[in-house]
Structure 1
Amino acid sequence: MDGKQDDKDGYRDARPAGARREFLKCMAWAGAGTLWFMQGGVLQARALGDSAQGEAKSAAFSFVQVSDSHIGFNKAPNEDVAGTFKRALDHIDALPVQPDFVMHTGDLTHLSKPDEFDTVTELMRQMRTKQRFFVPGEHDVIGDNGAEFFRRFGSEATKGGWYSFDHRGVHFVALINVLNLKAGGLGSLGTDQLAWLRSDLASRTSETPIVVFAHMPLWSLYPSWGWGTDDAGEALALLRRFGSVTVLNGHIHQIQQKVEGNVTFFTARSTAYPQPAPGVGPGPGPLKEIPAGKLADYIGVRVVRHVETARTLALTEETLS
């Protein structure tokens, strides 16, 4: 699991690795980031600038993804994760057009302690954007199988914790894949959730844009580190009939993307600390050796804008630097 090795000694190089598996593309973002337009499962990138911002303003609505705030973590490279989480929320508040809602894709806390959940609640209560959605990370379900998380943040959920909602023609699905982890820490959806997903999608037309969010990746990003979901293939089979599917997750604390047919997968930065690129170093965990003053280059938030007339999702990666 991604945050369990932070006491491990040794240097982990924060630089991007030169070698990657062919199906992975590691994004080395700089400055404010890059704007992605998703159209028919094909991504087109542009540097943020006047023309890109102009197209973004045509969005029918927008939302922001935050992830892996790890409130309670207090070691290298970030001894003030509450401070960087607040900076991320302030960044959202400062957007010229406020998002319709904020989505947190898990690991709100580091150890599932009540005071850690209290801190998350208080910081998010101060935001201008009041509509918020959550899924748990594996750090949010320690010790009680998520009871405290669901008590505080599960008002939208079914009995199992998963849920869906519709917003301006887009169908959003929140999946839980951090309970009953498999060997090596792989996520799992389970038969009950998959049956619910089949029923939830049954009444949707294939033209309905679908956005799925979960904590762990729904593709086999790097299974030996637990970066994947063992039964995700069954969920993806249910999603393949839709013309536009976007999957957003956290867990790995960095941006990776993959396009598979009509499904586009994006992982997200953490607001707390980065992790190594897949397969670089002995395993997952906080990158402890980051150049002085450069932490903000590695953490941030994602702004997603739905451009209704073009049937696209435009994704903007915003660092805290």
Structure 2
Amino acid sequence: MTEYDMTEYDDHQDPVPAGQDAEPMTEHGMSRRQLLRHAGWFGGAVVLTVAAGEVISHVAGPEDTAAAAPAAPSGALRFVQVSDSHIGFRGPANTDVAGSFTEAIDQVNALGFRPDFVMHSGDLTHLSTAGQFDQVRHMMAGLRTNRVFTVPGEHDSIGDAGRTYRQIFGKGTLGDGWYSFDTHGVHFVALVNTLSLEKLGHLGNEQIDFVRRDLAGLPSDTPVVVFSHIPLFAMYPQWGWSTDDALKVIALLRRFASVTCLNGHVHQLFTKTEGNITFHSATTTAYPLPKPGRAPAPTPQVVPARQLKDALGIRTVGYRQGDKQLAVKDERLA
């Protein structure tokens, strides 16, 4: 699985991925076709607490200090999700993405508790170069946690179908980088739906068969958390904010009492509940993107520098086993 013991960080440089995009490059360092595949808020870290089959989430903010951090129930699992750091991006939407990702890491480290693990849900880099991947890995080595997991975004697959990403972050994974693991009585599944740039997102039959086999032996009362970069629901297909064959996986998840699907890609907070399954789209640490349908394309948005952090969002989501509704509260972090 894609897991890193941060106490045994291995420093090495990997080869530059082969192949270049033949289309003209925009000021953001991507072809126009690739740029249209983007997704955008400048954001923080989503913290999930899982206890006795219950999932409670909120976006971490400065108030989550050692003094203010909520006490976890005995035996509870708490982990952090960060997403869409886009290391290597150059443009007016955020002139220092490395600096804002550093702030997100500092935010995680100031939570007042040590997360059981941190998940980066994709687009670690902007152009999937070996140097960008190495920079992300060095930065995440500063996280105060024992384990870091990742899934790739489409920006982590440019030019080489994700080979460089897998060389650095794919140790122990299956197929094109998918895997699963168990901890604290919760089953986690990490999926890859970013390798087909022409039909984002897409899982493919081999990966769907993996999910079928992986879930087959689990009791129906097992809490399940699914990570992917692109949403597994049709948030806005016109912009590639959906996964065309996700319903085949959703059907396999229907028998479980509690399922939480966490994604990145869209760079904004969004929650959707369908029966037993709740979908949470995470914010980003890079640059704002428009709301669905409010612009011709999901291109990086420029706001006045002093307002950039005003776009930071915080969401508190409470879930109790047996409830039919989520308790959701959204606030600006600033």
TM bin, normalised by shorter chain, reads 0.7 to 0.9
Distance 1:128 1:36 in 2: 17
Name the Cα RMSD after superposition.
4.1
1:297 and 2:310 correspond: yes
What amino acid maps onto 1:57 in structure 2? A
Alpha-carbon distance, 1:38 to partner: 11
- The CA distance in 2 between the partners of 1:145 and 1:301, in whole Å, is 34
The residue correspondences of 1:75-224 to structure 2 (distance < 5 A) are: 75-183=91-199, 186-224=200-238
Contact 2:58 2:316 in 1 (8 A): no
Q: Could you tell me how far apart the structure 1 residues matched to 2:285 and 2:71 are? A: 24
Equivalent positions of 1:239-250 (< 5 A) are 239-250=253-264
Per the TM alignment, residue 283 of structure 1 is displaced from its structure 2 partner at its CA by 1.0
> Hey, what's the Cα distance between the residues in 2 that align with 1:39 and 1:275?
36
- SS of the residue corresponding to residue 86 of structure 2 reads coil
Question: What's the TM-score, normalizing by structure 2?
Answer: 0.76
SS at match of 2:262: strand
Cα offset for 1:299?
A: 4.3
Q: Tell me which of the two structures has the higher relative contact order, counting C-alpha pairs closer than 8 angstroms and 6 or more residues apart.
A: 1
Q: In structure 2, what is the equivalent of residue 13 of structure 1?
A: none
The answer to whether the 8 Å contact 1:187/1:216 transfers is yes
- The one-letter code matched in structure 2 to 1:297 is D
Distance 1:56 1:260, change over 3 A: farther
> Deviations for 1:85-136, whole angstroms, at most 9, x for unmatched residues?
0110011111111111000000000000111111101111122213000000
Structure 2 SS opposite 1:166: strand
Residue 57 (1) aligns with residue 35 (2): no
* CA displacement at 1:179 relative to structure 2: 1.0
- Work out the CA distance in 1 between the residues paired with 2:46 and 2:187: 27
Q: Which runs of 5+ in 2 are unaligned?
A: 1-24, 30-40
| 2:268 matches 1:254 | yes
For residues 50 and 162 of structure 2, the distance between their equivalents in structure 1, rounded to whole angstroms, comes to: 35
Aligned residue among 45, 53, 67 for 2:83: 67
Compute the displacement of 1:181 (Å).
3.8
Equivalent AA in structure 2 for residue 233 of structure 1:
L
1:40–1:151 distance in 2 versus 1, CA, 3 Å: closer
Q: Which secondary structure does the structure 2 equivalent of 1:171 belong to?
A: strand
Cα distance change on mapping 1:237 and 1:179 into 2, 3 Å: same
Identity %: 51
**Distance in 2 between the 1:121 and 1:152 partners?**
9
Give the match's secondary structure for 2:306: coil
Kept after mapping to 1: 8 A contact 2:44/2:82: no
Deviations 1:247-296 (A, max 9, x none): 000001000110000000010111011211111111102111x2331212
Aligned partners of 1:105 and 1:249 also within 8 Å: yes
Letter in structure 2 aligned against 1:87: E
The alignment status of 1:227 with 2:248, answered yes or no, reads no
- CA offset digits 1:131-186 (Å, max 9, x no partner): 00000000000011101100101123113310000011000000000012444xx2
